[in-house]
Amino acid sequence: MAIVVFAAAALFTQWWDFTVPAVGRAQYQAVFLTNGQTYFGRYYDRIGAYAKIEDVYYLQQVKSSDPNAPADTRILRRGRELHEPASRMLIPKSAILFVEDLTEASPIAQFMQRDSAR
């Protein structure tokens, strides 16, 4: 009997992601971390010590070959790196400084919407 209960609990936890429902939030959020990194995507608060971000993007600065020119900033979708990580992330809540909703007028939100439509 204990094995059946354990197996059912294991299947249930794999099926349900323990996310807390969010009402009235924007489609995309910016998640600012305590280490200075910022991720953009769909933020989900979860029960427990970790939050989840899906469809993750981040900013990368690329230095120009001209030392006097400012660095070029571009937005990259997570998952297209050499090691091909999944497009979702689990982040310790203790590492999150704050979360902001992105408006539909945000250039980053517009880029993410166009990119996900491809």
Region for 55 from its dihedrals, namely left if φ exceeds 0, alpha if ψ lies in -120 to 50, beta otherwise: left
Place of tokens 């900033």: 73
Segment holding 76, helix H or strand E? strand 72-77
Global pTM exceeds 0.85: no
- Between CA 113 and CA 53 the distance in angstroms is 15
Span 25-36, pLDDT tens digits: 788 999 999 999
Span 91-109, pLDDT tens digits: 999 999 999 999 999 999 9
Query: Domains in the chain and their CATH numbers?
Result: 19-117 (2.30.30.100)
